Structure 1
Amino acid sequence: MPTLLETDAVLKRGLKALAKADPVMARLAAEGVVPQLRKRPPGFEGLAWIIIGQQVSTASATAIWGRLRSILEPATPERFLSLSDDELRMAGLSAMKVRTIRTAAAEIVEGRLPLDRLHELSADEAHDLLTRVKGIGPWTADIYLLFCLGHPDAFPGGDLAVQEAARIAYDLEKRPDAKALTALAERWRPWRGVAAKVLWAYYRVAKAREGSPVT
């Protein structure tokens, strides 16, 4: 079972291992690029929030989640399945997100998606279980594993900010795609999740230096 990113001590251990394994990570650490622990609740509530947040602004996701949460009490997959499509659409969910969360809720209730045991698995195994659910793609799976479970080796190779940060940090000719970045990330195992957090932090630093807004 992996040691989860739940304390600063674990984060620091991961940062030390990365600096030892990769001179670029060591340089970023020396420059003061230090990520923060950020975590959302694990389980159905956290997964639903991440699905809602796909391809919308943080403000919009927060507003939609607030409306949904007012009718989702308790915030369980069983309660979600009891709500009608009309109720969910009135809360602001798109038809696609209703279908995805319904499918995930059913998979959890029927025991095919054991959210309560994903932390016992490797990042790759947990990722595979999540992406078997129709509508949950690689990015959603990895963001859930990293920010809800605190899995130290979850790596969202498809995240554009992480890709751009890697391009700048490693002085690459072009922004790496998900396949290329995932290959690069092999050197960071079993702390790929910490490396992703470092790259997100570096992205903000790099954009601030350029005078570009961080989106």
Structure 2
Amino acid sequence: MSLRKVKNHLKKDIILEKLIASTDMLKLPKSGNVFNELVKAIVYQQISYKAADSIYSRFIELFDSEKYMPAELSKQKFEDLRSAGLSNQKANYVKNIALFFEEHQLINCDWERLSDEEIIDLLTRIKGVGTWTVHMILIFQLCRPDVFPDKDLAIQIVMKKLYRINSEKRQLLVDMNKIAHNWSPYRSFASLYLWSWRRDNN
């Protein structure tokens, strides 16, 4: 994928053109470690980054390696997960992920063979895993170039401000997607620029 081509395409949007001019070229990271990162995403949800770091560090200490397997998580006692700092709900959710990966033999899944939509459909079958979480996996673990996380709060805040969108709730998503349609097939990169602007102007 040509990053120059990505940049030239996104610069057709006058707002993104300004962001691109003031930001170094952003690249999509890729680890492909879907299972561990999916669990980590659950741990980090809805709490401060500092608190999540502390909890995740204690959580990892339950295993021999940061790249633990689904079977290892499945065997963990619920009480130990709670002692690491996970809420009842999150402890159940990470257990759900482990069991799902075991039952469907996903640890060695060839994710490249699946479309974005197929991955979203598959992983959101897990109780506790929503579309936003899978969008993060698609962007930051599988390096998918055309994902638009319209339910991400930071993306919503930035687009409302920069694109002067006054709508809310469902209409907000409609308006955002109408704008983002022109960014395709590089909506993931556009999202990186919006997150970068939010971080620098928070």
Instruction: Give the TM-score of the pair, scaled to structure 1.
Output: 0.80
CA deviation vs aligned residue, 1:138-170 (integer Å, no higher than 9, x gap): 111111211222221222111111111112221
Alignment-mate amino acid for residue 15 of structure 1: K
Q: Which runs of 5+ in 2 are unaligned?
A: none
**1:17 is aligned to 2:9:** yes
- Give the equivalent residue in structure 2 for 1:186: 181
Taking the aligned partners of 2:85 and 2:196, their CA distance within structure 1 comes to 31
Q: Which runs of 5+ in 1 are unaligned?
A: 4-9, 208-213
Whether the 8 Å CA contact 2:155–2:191 is kept in 1: the answer is yes
Taking the aligned partners of 2:175 and 2:96, their CA distance within structure 1 comes to 31
User: What is the alpha-carbon root mean square deviation over aligned residues?
Assistant: 2.4
Shift of 1:197: 0.5
The match for 1:119 among 112, 121, 124 is 112
The match for 1:98 among 91, 103, 109 is 91
Alignment-mate amino acid for residue 81 of structure 2: L
- Give the equivalent residue in structure 2 for 1:7: none
Per mean C-alpha deviation after superposition, the further-off stretch among 178-187 and 86-95 is 178-187
- Give the equivalent residue in structure 1 for 2:23: 33
Whether the 8 Å CA contact 2:28–2:139 is kept in 1: the answer is no
Per mean C-alpha deviation after superposition, the further-off stretch among 79-88 and 92-101 is 92-101
Sequence identity percentage: 30
- Give the equivalent residue in structure 1 for 2:129: 136
The match for 1:201 among 177, 196, 199 is 196
Alignment-mate amino acid for residue 156 of structure 1: P
SS in 2 for 1:60: helix
Alignment-mate amino acid for residue 7 of structure 2: L
